[in-house]
Structure 1
Amino acid sequence: MTVTLDVKGLEDLENKLSQKFSDRKVALYVNNALTIAGRYAVVELKQAAESYRDTGATVNEITAGKPRLRGGVRNIKIGWSGDGTKQRWRLVHLNEFGYTRNGHTYAPRGIGKIRSSYDEMQPKLKELEAAELRKLL
């Protein structure tokens, strides 16, 4: 399960930066702002996953990727590494959405925690990224 952070509404700020700096510098600054927002998102998701922590493998494997340009938009992926011995990325969707086994529906105690955390952090992510970019103007 991977969450892509794509903070919209900063186009005006990026346009002002592109008037002041080269495209390469703007990309560098936007990547830096996305990295900071990604670190914040990882901390928030770890706090959300703490509510249903058992061994801690799900919490420990949450990672932020590198900022990339995809479809003309710079974004960063947040997810579970899968490199760890537990490979919790395979189980995260079961905790998030619940599951059905042998005709019985199960709703784990962590159901919906990741999505609600993501929805709550969106304004803060936008604010963090905008503050980082405004430092340059």
Structure 2
Amino acid sequence: MSVNIRGMDEVLAKMESKLGSRAVAKYSNEALNIAGRYMAANLKSAVGSYRDTGATVNEVTVGKARLKGGVRTIKVGWDGGGSKQRYRLVHLNEFGYTRFGRTYGPRGMGKVQNAYDSSREPMKALEKHELEKLL
């Protein structure tokens, strides 16, 4: 999943001319980390609707903001270090599965995508607000 934020290039260019590239990177990372935590909270509430043991909800993690290919990114997903290793099973709940010729659509079908779609605009606004606040 990725979210493209348009119009932020001008804001970041102005910030870089005033503050320098290291300060801009620091502020961008902080804003991305806050937006990532927001997305993780929404994702946890979405997958919580089909919880059984709670392992899927407990293993949701947020990575650190990184510069990858010239673009600042952050990963929100499932940690494979838990005892249940839900990252192997999440796609079955998200897309459904076929077993012995019969197609199954679990309760959680489409929940991750819906959480992503509903969080896109608020995440953009939150990141913009955080960048403005940090200035």
Whether the TM-score (by the shorter chain) exceeds 0.5 is yes
Distance 2:84 2:4 in 1: 31
The structure showing larger relative contact order (alpha-carbon pairs under 8 Å, at least 6 residues apart) is: 1
- 2:66 partner letter: R
Structure 1 stretches lacking a partner, 5+ long: none
TM-score with structure 1 length normalisation? 0.94
- 1:108 partner letter: P
1:35 maps to 33
In the alignment, is the contact (CA less than 8 A) between 1:98 and 1:111 conserved in 2?
A: yes
Structure 2 stretches lacking a partner, 5+ long: none
- 2:24 partner letter: V
Match of 1:18 among 16, 19, 26: 16
Identity %: 57
Deviations, residues 11-39 of structure 1 (Å, cap 9, x unaligned): 12211211211101100000000000011
- 2:83 partner letter: T
Offset, 1:135 = 1.7
In the alignment, is the contact (CA less than 8 A) between 1:48 and 1:117 conserved in 2?
A: yes
Q: How many residues align?
A: 134
Match of 2:79 among 78, 81, 87: 81
Distance 2:10 2:32 in 1: 16
Offset, 1:87 = 0.2
Deviations, residues 78-103 of structure 1 (Å, cap 9, x unaligned): 00011100000000000000011110
Offset, 1:136 = 3.5
Distance 1:84 1:75 in 2: 24
- 1:100 and 2:103 correspond: no
